Amino acid sequence: MGAKEESVELKAQGNKYFAGHEWLNAIDYYTKAIDLYDQDPLYYCNRAQANIKLEQYGYAIADAKKAIELDPKCVKAYYRRACANTAILQSREALKDFKTVVRLEPKNQDAKLKLAECEKIAKKIEFMRAIEVDDEPSAFEGLDIDSMAVDKSYDGANLGKEMTQEFVDDMITRFKNGKKLHRKYVYQIIAAVRKIVYDEPTMVEMEVQEGHKLTVCGDTHGQFFDLMELFRLNGFPTESHYYLFNGDFVDRGSWSTEIALLLYAYKWLHPSAFFLNRGNHETDDMNRVYGFEGECKAKYSEKVFKLFSESFSALPLATLIGKKYFTLHGGLFSDDKTTLDDVRKLNRHQQRQPGQQGLMMEMLWTDPQTVPGRGPSKRGVGLQFGPDVTKRFCENNGLEAVIRSHEVRMEGYEVEHDGRCITVFSAPKYCDSTENKGAYINIGPDYKLDFHKFDAVPHPDIKPMAYAQNSLMSMM
């Protein structure tokens, strides 16, 4: 059998893994096929689609570009590059490719619809960025919560001036049954937590006391019923059982408001024992595209989204656990000179959104890589850092390891960079399409890391991205 024939078999094996939602194995076999025969554009197209499933949009764009170089009329390649650029909010680049698809296949109605949707997204993003101003009035300004009345027909627990365990328990029951909170209580919760987190430092520093434990959770992405499973297995938050949620509470999953409100309620109930780090999905641009804005509007109101948006921008960006574990959503920095003191000094309140560069962007967006040094981001946003970068950062700052989230891991977590970089991801069967486990890490007073995995549980028949305002995102 020649190399070309063998590559066809490898591609077929990759297709089987892709059909089984085993994206990493699919990429492995597509790569083997390309190594044997690198002149078939479909090999690159297939690998691009698997990279899209893993949110490796930078890699997907590179694969699609190679396919187009091999075949300038490869419609699939333009289509997939457009989807990848849409995912990283590069709508203008996506528009060019959707227009090319329509030109090459003028009868492709699906492509025409995607082109129209992409045009809407591009206009909306440009409009929202154009009207953003630094001194925009607070969404909380003029919000008279005390004067709001709760309808007599409301059948849930009442909330006074302080959060109670009774209210949290009732909230969980309501959410499980598909019910909402009263508008007044939503406003109360967001307002109270915004004030609490605004006053916290950019890097919260905490210790695990004797007789206590801390659970570190990664992305939950609106998968409320899986969060309930995590709590069932590991215990609910208390004053002696701390929790740290490491960003990306919202978007993609269709119970993002439920998760955000519940985590906020726990933060209000246990302000010194419950911790929240901001993720790259606690940002306006992502929320507008990946569903959280649409969900807020559908379940509550646009006002609720604006209040959440302002509260997200107040969240801390990192937590230092026992002076040993630097915990943040994305990862490390473009400059080796960056230290924990630089994070401490970062005034996150001066810049509500992370932008395209700087410490905040890097803390929310970067990823580890296996090779030394730094490299371009597989996402198309931020950068990647190697084991040598992690080693220097830990040694320079007296750390044992960096704990981060931001990426699916098939076993729910991964320890890499010689044990110095730990990824934890807490959304099992991510987006109902990836066969991954979820995980969380328990840390006691001895600061040993105790990893736990868990499986997804059934949920009501509402698909991920149900509240995204366009069908483009549902393909990601």
Residues 354 and 450 both lie in one domain: yes
Examine the domain organization and report whether 287 and 412 are in the same domain.
yes
- Identify whether residues 199 and 97 lie together within a single domain: no
Angstrom distance (rounded) from CA 265 to CA 278 = 16
Q: Is residue 467 part of a domain?
A: yes
Whether 459 sits among the annotated catalytic residues: the reply is no
pLDDT of residue 192: 98
Domain presence at residue 379: yes
User: 24: domain CATH number?
Assistant: 1.25.40.10
Task: Find the Cα–Cα–Cα–Cα dihedral 427, 289, 327, 234, rounded to 10°.
Answer: -20
Distance CA 59, CA 30 (A): 13
With respect to residue 274, please indicate whether it lies within any of the assigned structural domains: yes
Q: What angle do CA 407, 410, 415 make, to 5 degrees?
A: 70
Q: 358 lies in a domain?
A: yes
State the total domains in the chain.
2
Question: Which one from 281, 329, 406, 417 is the annotated catalytic residue?
Answer: 281
Q: Which of 85, 105, 131 is the last residue of a domain?
A: 131
Assess whether 293 and 394 both reside in one domain: yes
Q: Are residues 259 and 398 in the same domain?
A: yes
Q: What angle do CA 43, 48, 50 make, to 5 degrees?
A: 100
Backbone angles phi, psi at 39, to 5 degrees: -110, 5
Report the chain (476 residues): mean pLDDT per 10 consecutive residues.
91 96 95 97 97 95 98 96 91 92 92 85 73 73 93 95 98 98 98 98 98 98 98 98 98 98 98 98 93 97 97 98 98 98 96 89 97 95 96 98 97 98 98 95 98 98 87 56
Domain of 101, in residue numbers:
3-131
Let me know if residue 432 belongs to a domain: yes
Q: Is residue 158 part of a domain?
A: no
pLDDT of residue 469: 66
Q: Which pLDDT belongs to residue 370?
A: 97
Which CATH number fits the domain that encloses residue 244? 3.60.21.10
Is 149 within a domain?
no
Same-domain pairing of 305 and 419: yes
Residue 25, phi then psi, degrees to nearest 5: -65, -35
Q: Is-above-0.95 flag for pTM?
A: no
| Same domain membership, residue 175 and residue 100 | no
Domain boundary among 105, 131, 157: 131
3-state secondary structure of 213: strand
Q: Apex CA 349: angle with CA 311 and CA 405, to 5°?
A: 65
Answer with the one of 76, 107, 131 that is the final residue of a domain.
Answer: 131
- For residues 216 and 335, state if they share a domain: yes
